[in-house]
Homo-oligomer: A and B are copies of this chain.
Amino acid sequence: MTTGSKDRPDHPLERLIFFSDAVFAIAITLLIIDVHAPHVPLGSPDHDYIRALLNLTPNLFGFFVSFFVIGAFWAGHHRAFALAGHYSDSLNGPNLMMLCSVVFLPFSTSFMSQNIGTLVPVQLYNLSLITAGLLNIRLVRMVTAPPVVSEAVSADRIAIVRARGPAVVLGAFCAMLVAFWDPRFSQMALVTIPLWLRLLRAWTMRRLARAPG
């Protein structure tokens, strides 16, 4: 699907978007800083290097999962602000709060990776995802409502963009339930996020198709 509109948003709105993009970009890149490259004594056999890498599996797994989670938050931010046309001072607070929860994710990822498979770090990670998800839902709601939303945007497109919001929250909630059963498998429940996205989208489409005009 392509968006054909050539209209550009207000300049103050562009700057807000730009600042947010930079924060997302830094948070997503900082994830790799916590994966420290191991030093193996010179002259060790090859399988010592491979074992050193395998020991990093939880860190690398945490890196990849959080990379795509932050990427999904960025994509949602991008999708919502593509519908915005006007700047409002009231956006600053909720946007900063949402960014703060995203900047927190490299910390909760690192805490989880360094204490792999234990309850508290896993649940803190899930809780930080749910917090980011809820702050994101609030922000998307503001961006797709007057006075921020562009007049050219249809109610249907707004409904579709808003429908994406709960996916991360639902996925992280599943991960929380799994963690109480066994913390080691908690993160696998995050794989349900794309499923929730598809489900929420299909459900919204059906609802829109039924509604008149």
The chain A residues found within 8 Å of chain B, CB to CB, are 1-12, 15-19, 21-40, 42, 44, 46, 49-50, 53, 64, 67-68, 71, 74-75, 78-79, 81-82, 86-90, 92, 96, 99-100, 103-104, 106-108, 110-111, 113-115, 118-121, 124, 147-148
Contact = CB atoms under 8 A, between A and B. Distances in A.
B9 A3 contact: no
B78 A15 contact: yes
What is the total number of copies of this protein in its complex?
4
A124 B96 CA distance: 25
B114 A37 contact: yes
A6 to B, nearest CB: 7
Contacts of A88: 1-2
Given A11-B9, A15-B78, A37-B110, A103 B67 contact: yes
Given A15-B17, A25-B19, A28-B23, A46 B119 contact: yes
Contact of A12 (B3, B24, B27): B3
Main secondary structure of the interface of A (DSSP, over half): helix
B12 A82 contact: yes
26 contacts: A1-B88, A2-B87, A5-B10, A6-B10, A6-B11, A9-B11, A15-B81, A19-B21, A21-B22, A25-B26, A26-B29, A31-B103, A32-B107, A34-B37, A37-B107, A37-B108, A37-B111, A38-B114, A39-B114, A44-B118, A46-B118, A46-B119, A71-B92, A71-B96, A71-B100, A78-B92
